[in-house]
Amino acid sequence: MERIKVVIVEDLEEVSEALSAFIRLESELQLLASYRTAEAALVEVPLLKPDIVIMDINLPGMTGIECVRQLKGTSPSTQFMMLTVYENNEQVFEALKAGANGYLLKSASPAEIIASVKELNQGGSPMSTTIARKLVTLFQEEHIHRDEAAVLTPREKEVLQSLAKGMLYKEIGDQLGISFNTVRQHISKIYEKLHVQNRTEALNKVFGRGNNKT
């Protein structure tokens, strides 16, 4: 059986050496190379054509996320598994949008990492449990936000979108061609339908955290 060809991109020597040792112990895996920087990986990975690249995010110079984004164009048959300490939502989504196929935390055991490499090669998308839970939670929250917005009329949605841009009532009225009092009536109705007390609560409920302007 042909072995799974692996490349490691990790700047910390002790982590890179430990990963290399684990991979060499596996008869199903073949370590092609390991690199300390994204810039080196950009040059070498398209030439080596590995099946799997284990990629750190926090690299000197270019980040692992940007490296994956660029390599997806030059190495379309290669799959990428992030192995990182980062578990915040922004990093997870940026990595997945860039083209990462799996996302593991460095707290994963050697057995978990090796099993995930094999799973990825078989068409899976391995993720640490905490990362998978985050994705499920965010998906559910996004679904709730869409449901909340569904109770608003098209005009009310326009007013709310203007509020999200930080516009004043008079500015909203001028933009939409309605009076100041009509804007106030729309906003009062929006608050009533969403069961909120103010602009911030309304924007959080519909658009999610971090997307509002007060």
Q: Which domains does the chain have, with CATH numbers?
A: 4-131 (3.40.50.2300), 144-207 (1.10.10.10)
What's the mean pLDDT in 112-118? 94
Q: Six-digit token pair at 8?
A: 């490691």
Cα 31 → chain centroid: 27
DSSP string for residues in 40-97: HHHHHHHHH--SEEEE-SS-SSS-HHHHHHHHHHH-TT-EEEEEES--SHHHHHHHHH
3-state secondary structure of 199: helix
What's the mean pLDDT in 123-138? 77
Q: Six-digit token pair at 94?
A: 């940026």
Distance between CA atoms of residues 96 and 102, nearest Å: 8
Is it the case that residue 92 has pLDDT exceeding 90? no
Is it the case that residue 212 has pLDDT exceeding 70? no
pTM for the complete prediction? Answer: 0.64
E strand map for the chain: 4-9, 29-35, 52-55, 79-84, 102-105
Is it the case that residue 132 has pLDDT exceeding 90? no
How many other β-carbons are positioned within 10 Å of the β-carbon of residue 126?
20
pLDDT digit string, tens, across residues 136-178: 666 655 555 555 667 888 899 889 888 888 888 999 999 999 9
